[in-house]
Each structure stands twice: as C-alpha cells, then as structure tokens.
C-alpha cells in the first residue's frame, strides 16, 4: 500500500515521504512543507470489489458544434482566451503579487457583466469596500458585478449554487479555505482541494470560474503550478514592477492556441489595452546605438517587434559576468560559444549583459540571430543600420536556419517603417513587396557583412 505522504512541495505539489531541502520533482529549493494528508485513512474497499456503472462510449467522427463564446469586449483578453469566454470553463490567472491581477479581473468582470453575463467577484484578500473603491477609481462603479468578501469555500459554493452566475472570479485561490481539509489556507492540500471543488462545481453547474493564483518564490504558500493541470486555461500575468507594460500570456488553453499574448499598460485608471505592442516596445528606442537590435518575433498568432540590447565590457573580475534579462541564459551561452568557435570573435575577459527592452520575455529560437547581432554590435561598437530588423535561428555549426512565419514578421516590420531585414538564406517570403532582404547563409557571413571581415578559425 502507498505510504501516506506528509510533506509536499509548494511549487509543484509533489508529495514526499520526508522533508528535504530540494524537491526532486521540480528542482525548487526550500519549498517542501509538512502537511496533513488530503484524505486521511486507507480506502475502505478495494476499487474492483464493487461493481461500477457502465460508461457510454462515443466515437471520434461525431461532429460537435464549437463552444459558444462570450467576448468581454477587451480584445487583448478575448484573444488570449482563444476568442472569448467558454461556458463551464476553469481559468487560472497566475502572477506575482502586486502585478495587477485583481485590477485586470475586476475590469474583466465588469466587461463580461456589461456584455450580459451574470458576474460574481469574490475577494478573499480585500474587504468589499476596498474593491468598491477600486472599481470607482477604474470608472466601473456602475457595472452590474455582484461582490462578496469571503474565504470560506462552503459558503461560496452555496452562494454560487443559489445565485447561478455565468462567471465567478475567486481572488485568490490561496486565501480560500475548505473546512473539510485539515491544513492552513495557502497550503498545497487546501489550494488543491479548493481548486478541485471549484472546477468540478463549474463543470457540473455550467458556470465559468476564474481562479487568481499568486506566484510565490518563498515557498510559504502554494503557487499556481500546483493546480495548473486541473483547469482548462492557464494565463500568466507578467511584467516588471518598474515598467508599466503588462503581458497576459496563455501557457495552456484547451479552447484556443497557447502562447497567445495580450498586452496592457498600467495607468492611473487601471489597465489600458495596447493594440500595437510593437510600436510600444520600440517607442523608447534611441537613435541607432551599438548593441541595439530590433527582433521581429511572433507571440502566439501575432507578430511583435521588440528590441534586444547588449553591453559588452572588459571584465574586472577573474570570472567574467554573463547577465541576461528576458531571454534564456543557456541559449546566450550557446550563441557566445558559436561566435567564438565559428566566427573567431572572442568574448573571454568581457562581461556580457543582454536585455529585452520593455520587460518583454522572449523564448523563440528565432531570436538567436538578433541576440548574436546585438552581441557583435556591442562588442565591435558598431551599430546595425537603424532601418533593419533581424530574425533567424543559429545552429551549433554557425549556419543560419530559416524560421516559421517569416511573412508575418516582415509585414509587421514594414508596417513599422523598417525597410531592411537580415534573415537566414532560404527564408521563404510571399510575392508582395516587403522590406529588402539581406539573406545570409551563416553567422560568419553576418560578421563579414556588418562588422568587418574576420578570418574563421
Ligand atoms: P493589483 O491588481 O492589486 O495586483 P495583484 O492583484 O496582482 O496583487 O494591482 C496592484 C498595483 O496596481 C498597485 O501597485 C497599484 C497599481 N494600480 C495602478 O497603477 N492603477 C490602478 O488604477 C490600480 C487599480 C492599481
Ligand atoms: Mg490582488
């Protein structure tokens, strides 16, 4: 019989038989806490001992109508949801504390209410008066949203059962408390139980629930990862505290494409939509500076231009620094190695800093070439032409590989006034006129063309 697990990881929810400093399942440090088991006592009978009910089986050919969706009217949100809210769906919105989750969801609740849905907003963190005050500041004081401040899950479920709303927002899942579970609110067991009750209730009663989850680094309370698998859609609300840009990113969506993003700006009157994120991300760009390169990326279904900035400076330390914000550190190391090995551009003895402007996070390998160009440009103190965008993947051999959706990247670049694109040879484009292409087969070719020829080793 399985041993009862009395420790669990607040980052990923994995159970452990004993305490340890590091979770084997997700690798996080200091996240394992002691917990009462979710369902104490062994099962009374073996599962096969009592006969179950026969399940009706279907086939794959049956045609289903696409789910009816309700649009909130906030386009940036609707797109991330896959085209609007699907009835009876469970959505998790995760993010750092203070990033603007409550603000976003209060605005969303008001918009859905104005679109004709019955919306209930349950706050476990703020008093109703506080939420009302915020609503007034956002200009939503008259929106027909029903409001409650409550943390007792049983009371919330009873209220939802009687009120029968179309959408319920639970802010936040970590403050919810199920009285049948013997551990503190915010613990893995409580968060899991509360999320399970709410999502199954949503499916049974046909209402949509939106769960707000704080991302935690300290491991005191369970993070949203613990319940990601239970919900239909997982959205993360990201951004740097010092920047006003906020990005809502779909990391999982059973009803639409993942990786879709919505871009918002935090203003004095709440979150404003940013319909043209490329213009926003490039708005602070200085005149052509060494180390600055514009990357034509794709986020979900939408092309987005953003700026990579690199700084390469002689290092005063024995071990040179590599620091990166908004891009993968391992991938940066790989590109530095390719530049050294295939293009004879050494970075030993230099500190390297790489940053994506505007607090954007990029994970596409298509940005490899933009990163390499930014590093070269900073290293050689020589700016790329200011009318150029860059994209392409770099292989370990130093060859440049074409990437997907080149046409939409080029179209977006043209829309924003870029007249030249530095891309891998073999990049396929449509027939229409676009930016002039500088198609280059390998990284050494880019070095030769834009940063003075060097002899490959
Ligand atoms: P909040 O939605 O409370 O964050 P979360 O629920 O993710 O913890 O947002 C808090 C921050 O947003 C707070 O620092 C103030 C800022 N803010 C504005 O700048 N403008 C506004 O109109 C509102 C409501 C909040
Ligand atoms: Mg909040």
Cβ of 98 closer than 6 Å to ligand 1, yes or no, is: yes
Tokens of 287: 């005149």
CA 103 to ligand 2 center in whole angstroms: 7
The answer to whether the CB of 214 is under 6 A from ligand 1 is no
Q: What is the pLDDT of residues 220-249, one digit of tens each?
A: 677 888 899 999 999 999 887 778 889 999
Q: Which atom of ligand 1 approaches the CA of 138 most closely?
A: 22
Question: Does residue 429 carry a pLDDT above 90?
Answer: no
Same domain, residue pair 121 and 157: yes
CA distance 181 to 177: 8
Q: In angstroms, how far is CA 365 from the centroid of its own chain? A: 17
63 in a structural domain: no
Q: Are 207 and 214 in contact (CB under 8 A)?
A: no
* CA separation for the pair 330, 407 (Å, rounded): 28
Q: Which of 221, 254, 274 is the last residue of a domain?
A: 274
Q: Quote the percentage of the chain above a pLDDT of 70.
A: 94
For 16, the domain range is 1-36
pLDDT of residue 1: 43
Does ligand 1 come within 6 angstroms of the Cβ of 270?
Answer: yes
The residue whose CA is least distant from atom 17 of ligand 1 is: 270
pLDDT at 455 over 50: no
The rounded Å distance from CA 105 to ligand 1 centre is 11
- Considering the domain architecture, whether residues 16 and 94 belong to the same structural domain is answered as no
From the CA of 99, how far away is ligand 1's center (Å)?
6
pLDDT tens digits, 299-351: 888 899 999 999 999 999 989 999 999 999 999 999 999 999 999 999 999 99
Residue 143 located in a structural domain = yes
412, 436: one domain: yes
What was the pLDDT predicted at 53?
Answer: 87
Number of domains within the chain: 3
Q: What is the CATH number of the domain that holds 130?
A: 3.40.50.300
| Per-residue pLDDT, 3 | 47
> Could you say which ligand is closest to the alpha carbon of residue 271?
1
The region, left, alpha or beta by phi > 0 then psi within -120 to 50, assigned to residue 307 is beta
Q: Determine the distance separating the centroid of ligand 1 and the alpha carbon of 306, expressed in angstroms.
A: 25
Q: Does residue 45 sit within a domain? A: no
- pLDDT surpasses 70 at 133: yes
The closest ligand to the CA of 126 turns out to be 2
- 48 in a structural domain: no
Q: Please check whether residues 424 and 408 belong to one and the same domain.
A: yes
Q: What is the pLDDT of residue 320?
A: 92
Q: Which residue has the higher pLDDT, 190 or 244?
A: 190
Taking only the tens place, the pLDDT of each residue in 93-129 is 999 999 999 999 999 999 999 999 999 999 999 999 9
Q: What is the pLDDT of residue 39?
A: 55
* DSSP output for 59-107: -S----PPPP-B--S-HHHHHHTTSSBPTT-EEEEEE-TTSSHHHHHHH
Q: What is the pLDDT of residues 274-304, one digit of tens each?
A: 988 888 888 777 677 899 999 999 988 889 9
Residue 203 Cα to ligand 2 midpoint, Å, equals 25
Residue nearest to atom 12 of ligand 1 (CA): 100
pLDDT at site 278: 87
Nearest CA to ligand 1 atom 16: 100
Ligand 1 atom closest to Cα of residue 269: 22
Q: What is the pLDDT of residues 352-391, one digit of tens each?
A: 999 998 878 899 999 999 999 999 999 999 999 989 999 9
Residue among 95, 99, 103 to mutate when testing ligand 1 (max atoms within 8 A of CB): 103
Asked if residue 57 is part of any domain, the answer here is: no
How high is the pLDDT of residue 223? 81
pTM score, whole prediction: 0.82
Asked whether the predicted pLDDT for residue 20 surpasses 50, the reply is yes
| Residue 453 in this model has a pLDDT that exceeds 60 | no
Portion of the chain with pLDDT greater than 90, in percent? 65
Say if residue 251 is in the same domain as residue 301.
Answer: no
How do strand 292-299 and strand 302-314 relate by DSSP bridges? Answer: antiparallel
For ligand 1, is residue 134 a contact (CB within 6 Å)? yes
CB of residue 100 inside a 6 A radius of ligand 1: yes
- The reply to whether 385 and 416 lie within a common domain is yes
What's the pLDDT at 242? 78
> What pLDDT, on the 0 to 100 scale, is given for residue 208?
96
Name the residue at shortest CA distance from atom 22 of ligand 1.
Answer: 270
Give the per-residue pLDDT at 301. 82
Q: Is the per-residue pLDDT at 457 higher than 70?
A: no
User: What's the pLDDT score for residue 45?
Assistant: 63
**Among 240, 249, 357, 370, CA closest to 299:** 249
Q: Ligand 1 pocket, 243 CB below 6 A?
A: no
Same domain, 144 and 256: yes
Q: So what's the pLDDT on residue 431?
A: 62
Q: Which atom of ligand 1 is nearest to the CA of 125?
A: 6
- Ligand 1 atom closest to Cα of residue 212: 6
CA neighbor of 409 nearest in space, from 398, 423, 396: 423
Same-domain status, 17 and 159 = no
CA distance 261 to 81: 9
Residues 285 and 268 in one domain: no
Give residue-wise pLDDT tens across range 191-211.
999 999 999 999 999 999 999
CATH of the domain at 357: 3.30.230.10
126 Cα: distance to centroid of ligand 1 (angstroms): 12
- Taking residues 162-173, report their average pLDDT: 95
SS3 45: coil
Same domain, 212 and 360: no
- Residues 297 and 306 sit within 8 Å (Cβ to Cβ): yes
Among the bound ligands, the one closest to the CA of 99: 1
Ligand 2 centroid distance, CA of 214 (Å): 8
């Amino acid at each position: 019989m399985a041993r009862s697990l009395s420790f669990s990881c607040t980052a990923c929810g994995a159970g452990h038989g004993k305490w340890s400093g590091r979770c084997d399942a997700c690798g996080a440090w200091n996240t394992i806490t002691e917990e009462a088991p979710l369902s104490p006592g062994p099962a009374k009978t073996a599962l096969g001992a009592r006969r179950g009910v026969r399940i009706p089986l279907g086939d794959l050919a049956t045609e289903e109508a696409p789910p009816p969706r309700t649009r909130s009217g906030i386009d940036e949100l609707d797109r991330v949801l896959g085209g609007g809210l699907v009835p009876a769906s469970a959505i998790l919105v995760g993010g750092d504390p203070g990033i603007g989750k409550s603000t976003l969801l209060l605005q969303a609740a008001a918009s859905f209410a104005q679109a004709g849905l019955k919306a209930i907003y349950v706050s476990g963190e703020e008093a109703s008066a506080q939420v009302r005050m915020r609503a007034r500041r956002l200009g939503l004081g008259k929106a027909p949203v029903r409001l409650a401040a409550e943390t007792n899950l049983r009371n919330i479920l009873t209220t939802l059962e009687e009120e029968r709303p179309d959408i319920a927002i639970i802010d936040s899942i970590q403050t919810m408390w199920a009285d049948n579970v013997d551990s503190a609110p915010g613990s893995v067991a409580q968060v899991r139980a509360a999320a399970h009750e709410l999502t199954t209730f949503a499916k049974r009663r046909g209402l949509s629930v939106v769960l707000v989850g704080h991302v935690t680094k300290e491991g005191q309370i369970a993070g949203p990862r613990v319940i990601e698998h239970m919900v239909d859609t997982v959205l993360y609300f990201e951004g740097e505290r010092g920047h006003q840009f906020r990005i809502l990113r779909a990391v999982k969506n059973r009803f639409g494409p993942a990786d879709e993003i919505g871009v918002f700006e935090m203003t004095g009157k709440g979150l404003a939509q940013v319909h043209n994120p490329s213009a926003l991300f490039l708005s602070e760009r200085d005149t052509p500076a060494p180390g600055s390169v514009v990357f034509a990326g794709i986020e979900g279904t939408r092309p987005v231009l953003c700026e990579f900035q690199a700084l390469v400076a002689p290092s005063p330390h024995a071990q040179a620094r590599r620091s990166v914000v908004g891009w993968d550190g391992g991938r940066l190391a790989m590109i530095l190695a390719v530049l050294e090995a295939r293009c004879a551009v050494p970075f030993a003895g230099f500190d390297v800093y790489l940053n994506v402007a505007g607090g954007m996070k990029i994970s596409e390998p298509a940005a490899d070439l933009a990163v390499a160009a930014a590093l070269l440009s900073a290293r050689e103190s020589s700016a790329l032409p200011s009318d150029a965008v860059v994209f392409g993947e770099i292989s370990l051999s130093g060859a440049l590989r074409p990437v997907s959706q080149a046409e939409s990247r080029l179209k977006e670049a043209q829309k924003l006034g870029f007249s030249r694109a530095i891309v891998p040879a073999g990049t396929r484009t449509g027939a229409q006129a676009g930016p002039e292409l500088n198609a280059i087969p390998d990284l050494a070719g880019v070095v030769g063309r834009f940063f003075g020829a060097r002899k490959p080793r």
